[in-house]
Structure 1
């Protein structure tokens, strides 16, 4: 049999899930390793699908790449696991079914987890291992990120002429997570040489059929569909798929009507589901023409800013002062609001509000920000961490901020929960700071993470964090550049404590057009100085600073005055090099940062007078 010839003539039936059956039998570790340790179990499942009518068996190698196997200490066994996976499937097929080497996606929702170069290296190792066993074709499945699928497809097509099935996965009906419609995705994949293009995983038959209704028959490829059995339920800590095989079989008829030439199953499907597909389709021929449902194109409204200049734009041409004032840990905001007013009156352009700094719960910065905007008239800068919210919560939070008109945001990773008041709490980190910046940028284009229209474009101004307190400053600058590529428009630094460090940061970042706000946090006591120096990762205070604070002894007024004096020296150095100043208020001691804010304004005014007098 020739795979491409058979695909031209008839509908080929794929197999169903491997992991579902293994999981139901109590196996909950590395499924791919079973190719080596228990090949008989894998062969039995392949045989079960063959006996109910599957024309295509996919090897048990979905996650058999370097990075996924490394989780189990099996990274040195990539070749043997992949080769054995193909061999087992071929043994089970007995020449009665085609065997496709399966390669799954490496990227998950955290796109930044793996760079493309890492993916390429891992993919090549897996691909070459499988090609050594001469499969009948290749199946690439569960690719949410089209960039990754295009990348590996190019590599595979350059290395082999074997038939390739390229399946993407969707969060929403008809759209990939970056907003690309299936039509465009399929066109791009067939241009790169895929023999079949399709959808697998995440969605059940109903939503996959709806997705295909807007897709024409490809000109140079065929359609492939591998739905989940249904939407999953969560019962006693396990995902359960409850769709009955008969429904899955009747759905196969509708998939055929949409032009599917390969029909199989993904999560939750069993040999009974594939048997139902075989029975429903019988010997029906594939369709060669179909009616396309008109795609509804939603117009995305553009929301407009209020008459305020974005902080990052202002900082390109004139002095801009941001002052951080943490929301209270306890209910009652009278003192906080008094501090915010003092800072605003002193000349702060924006009050920045941390998001549960040091993993300690505080009053919601969105609530506080709304009050500041309403009662004081300042434009707050809202911090958003990746720690506290999963992807659902982050998207909801962003939509809430847009609705409240809080558009200046700072994206940060967030301190791990173990350092805070609740060390047993979970640090979520569904997204990295890079991913979250990309998500916010996508929001500004009117698209949610899943690719669904938001109905409006958001107008977030995206600031990001920059830590200069590292051994290799050029590495930190490289991270900055990556964040700029993701969409960052300005940077706030961690606090610095030496003039020489400010000069180093300037030299390292002066090639960037993106404004940098130098972070300065006044010290409050010698104890505070020693804590920062000895216990805060990455920050070391100069000896002269520690000695000056120690000389203040236990006199709080003297210590405060010394802390402000040291901060003034840093301010003087910063305003020579940077338009942006970021003052960090320690322990709600807003009188210190208010004084420093006033000092910056005074210095600028004096310089303005001097320049004006000189010009006259």
Structure 2
């Protein structure tokens, strides 16, 4: 009897976590590599689940794809690993259990693969599994419904075997993009899945609750693979602490929600599967189900009306100046606040505040942003880096910024910790700037990173960083275009020291309708110029600029004046081709930045005959 025919008649039991069992044995590396090195151990794991009552076992291939194996230098072993995995599972199963070829999700908090890379990687692994004649496929732990749909459609074109598709949820009942579980499962059914369900992240209680609103279907069956529990962390290891007997009591609950395939995910062992089997003994599948009344969705309030014109709107219509003025590395803010007052009086549009640039700690830019907004009334543009916060910290940080009424953000990946004051510190990088931009825009729709309602939307305008100081500008522009697709509203460039580069950038971005603020940072000395050119990633000076600074290196004041002169020349070109100017204050010398703002004021007045920036912005 084939898999679907068996499921029509009774509830089938899946296996539990392979990785959890191997982890408990002290194996802590690529579990998929063990298909080649520890055949007997893998076969024993499969047999342990079959003896516990599993009707279906999964191949040890969850991460046996090119992209994930490359983390261990095993990318050339895809065929060998998948082939061996199926053979081990088939040997263990005999005629006692069905063998499912397992393919796990790739997109996640640690994966930045493109859709085309995922397709190629999936096809390679799929071919290996189908060649070995598995009884079906299980696509599991997909947080991204679009990714799962893409690979499901590929699989369905290649095979008529039964396909199980399991999504994973951060929050009960909703996927990370806000799609309700019933809608997601219906979509997968319509895309060709024979069995649709959920696995990972949640334990039995929340999985059962999530399934209460999922109706029975005539076209597909339901599956559930809950985690053993929420994990605890002891002595550097994740530990799942619930008792297997708990699964026995939960088995009937899953059956009552119409589930026809029940197994286990993280933390589950043969004892959990044995408990499921005992709990389901003599129970037949239900044929009808009453759906719980859906709760009334929370109505999002309208976005807050901002009193100031958004920065990208200003820069689309007229010249706009923003200034980077970093918070102190100490707790004395007297000079910093004096500088902010002077810059505000000069008439700039915003103060941009770096997020521990060059991986060196400063006063929290969120705290200093709130201070200058409240005490001086100037608009803060806060940099948010992916380096220092995991997804929990990032969402909390953004919620805090929104609560403080701070709506302007520069989303950046961040400098690695090794270049900063604490090279032993770890970098987080749960996401990179592209993903962060997307998540911020998701918050603007009133949705948390996990897909749960925030009860009101945020109102962020998102800037993105752009580095034109590269050999192939067209590749950099492609990254800019990608950031726009993720939601970037405007761009701030790295400091540019070449008028020709500005002109080249203008031509290369003619098709871009998002404003670009050109970064200009005055030089203070020849040594400063050489440091920036040779040691700071993303900054390159022209030979002429370096020579000009060397020529006055013997005189400190002349060096400063020459740096200002070079900055003014760059401003001339920038204002001819772009509306946005992004002045980066050197070494807290805000007096120099004020002089450059005054120079821009004079140019606006002389070129257009209009009021100065100071008069316009303080009107």
Report if TM-score (shorter chain) is over 0.5: yes
How do residues 300-311 of structure 1 correspond to structure 2 at under 5 angstroms? 300-311=300-311
SS at match of 1:316: helix
1:168 aligned residue: 167
Distance in 1 separating the partners of 2:140 and 2:82:
16
Distance in 2 separating the partners of 1:609 and 1:145:
54
How do residues 434-583 of structure 1 correspond to structure 2 at under 5 angstroms? 434-583=434-583
SS at match of 2:609: helix
SS at match of 2:424: coil
User: Does structure 1 residue 185 correspond to structure 2 residue 184?
Assistant: yes
Using the TM superposition, give the Cα deviation of residue 236 of structure 1 relative to its aligned residue in structure 2, in angstroms. Answer: 1.1
Distance in 2 separating the partners of 1:47 and 1:553:
76
CA RMSD of aligned residues (A): 1.3
2:584 aligned residue: 584
Q: Which moved more, 1:543-552 or 1:15-24?
A: 543-552
Instruction: Judge conservation of contact 1:110–1:432 (CA < 8 Å) in 2.
Output: no
1:14 aligned residue: 14
- What TM-score do you get using the length of structure 2 for normalisation? 0.97
2:617 aligned residue: none
Distance in 1 separating the partners of 2:554 and 2:178:
60
Unaligned runs of 5+ in 2: 612-619
2:614 aligned residue: none
User: Does structure 1 residue 63 correspond to structure 2 residue 63?
Assistant: yes
SS at match of 2:316: coil
Distance in 2 separating the partners of 1:22 and 1:390:
27
Distance in 2 separating the partners of 1:312 and 1:23:
51
Sort the Cα spacing of 1:48 and 1:110 in 2 relative to 1 into closer, same or farther, 3 A. closer
Using the TM superposition, give the Cα deviation of residue 143 of structure 1 relative to its aligned residue in structure 2, in angstroms. Answer: 0.6
Using the TM superposition, give the Cα deviation of residue 36 of structure 1 relative to its aligned residue in structure 2, in angstroms. Answer: 1.7
1:269 aligned residue: 268
Q: Which moved more, 1:456-465 or 1:556-565?
A: 556-565
How do residues 317-466 of structure 1 correspond to structure 2 at under 5 angstroms? 317-466=317-466
Distance in 2 separating the partners of 1:319 and 1:359:
32
Q: Which moved more, 1:541-550 or 1:459-468?
A: 541-550
Instruction: Judge conservation of contact 1:233–1:239 (CA < 8 Å) in 2.
Output: yes
Instruction: Judge conservation of contact 2:102–2:140 (CA < 8 Å) in 1.
Output: yes
Distance in 2 separating the partners of 1:486 and 1:341:
35
CA-to-partner distance for each residue in 1:303-327, whole Å, 9 max, x for gaps? 3132210000111001110111010
Distance in 1 separating the partners of 2:537 and 2:352:
22
Using the TM superposition, give the Cα deviation of residue 608 of structure 1 relative to its aligned residue in structure 2, in angstroms. Answer: 2.2
CA-to-partner distance for each residue in 1:539-567, whole Å, 9 max, x for gaps? 33222212221222332221111111110
CA-to-partner distance for each residue in 1:281-320, whole Å, 9 max, x for gaps? 1121101111212222222222313221000011100111
Distance in 1 separating the partners of 2:236 and 2:553:
57
Using the TM superposition, give the Cα deviation of residue 398 of structure 1 relative to its aligned residue in structure 2, in angstroms. Answer: 0.1
How do residues 210-225 of structure 1 correspond to structure 2 at under 5 angstroms? 210-225=209-224
Distance in 2 separating the partners of 1:195 and 1:583:
58
1:226 aligned residue: 225
User: Does structure 1 residue 49 correspond to structure 2 residue 28?
Assistant: no
Q: Which moved more, 1:230-239 or 1:66-75?
A: 66-75
Using the TM superposition, give the Cα deviation of residue 571 of structure 1 relative to its aligned residue in structure 2, in angstroms. Answer: 0.3
1:312 aligned residue: 312
1:200 aligned residue: 199
SS at match of 2:469: coil
Distance in 2 separating the partners of 1:555 and 1:367:
39
Using the TM superposition, give the Cα deviation of residue 145 of structure 1 relative to its aligned residue in structure 2, in angstroms. Answer: 0.9
Aligned length: 611
Distance in 1 separating the partners of 2:422 and 2:33:
38
Instruction: Judge conservation of contact 2:604–2:610 (CA < 8 Å) in 1.
Output: no
Distance in 1 separating the partners of 2:511 and 2:435:
24
CA-to-partner distance for each residue in 1:27-75, whole Å, 9 max, x for gaps? 1112112212121111111111111211111111111111111222221
Instruction: Judge conservation of contact 2:496–2:540 (CA < 8 Å) in 1.
Output: no
Instruction: Judge conservation of contact 2:197–2:224 (CA < 8 Å) in 1.
Output: yes
Instruction: Judge conservation of contact 1:229–1:243 (CA < 8 Å) in 2.
Output: yes
Instruction: Judge conservation of contact 1:443–1:454 (CA < 8 Å) in 2.
Output: yes
SS at match of 1:395: helix
Distance in 2 separating the partners of 1:103 and 1:534:
45
SS at match of 1:572: helix
CA-to-partner distance for each residue in 1:156-211, whole Å, 9 max, x for gaps? 00000000000010100001111111011101100111010001111100010011
Using the TM superposition, give the Cα deviation of residue 114 of structure 1 relative to its aligned residue in structure 2, in angstroms. Answer: 0.4
Using the TM superposition, give the Cα deviation of residue 382 of structure 1 relative to its aligned residue in structure 2, in angstroms. Answer: 0.4
How do residues 221-300 of structure 1 correspond to structure 2 at under 5 angstroms? 221-296=220-295, 297-300=297-300
Using the TM superposition, give the Cα deviation of residue 610 of structure 1 relative to its aligned residue in structure 2, in angstroms. Answer: 8.4
Distance in 2 separating the partners of 1:50 and 1:210:
28
Using the TM superposition, give the Cα deviation of residue 607 of structure 1 relative to its aligned residue in structure 2, in angstroms. Answer: 1.7
Q: Which moved more, 1:581-590 or 1:599-608?
A: 599-608
Sort the Cα spacing of 1:579 and 1:236 in 2 relative to 1 into closer, same or farther, 3 A. same
Runs of 4+ residues over 6 Å off in structure 1: none
Instruction: Judge conservation of contact 1:110–1:435 (CA < 8 Å) in 2.
Output: no
Distance in 2 separating the partners of 1:28 and 1:68:
15
2:615 aligned residue: none
2:143 aligned residue: 144
Using the TM superposition, give the Cα deviation of residue 376 of structure 1 relative to its aligned residue in structure 2, in angstroms. Answer: 1.5
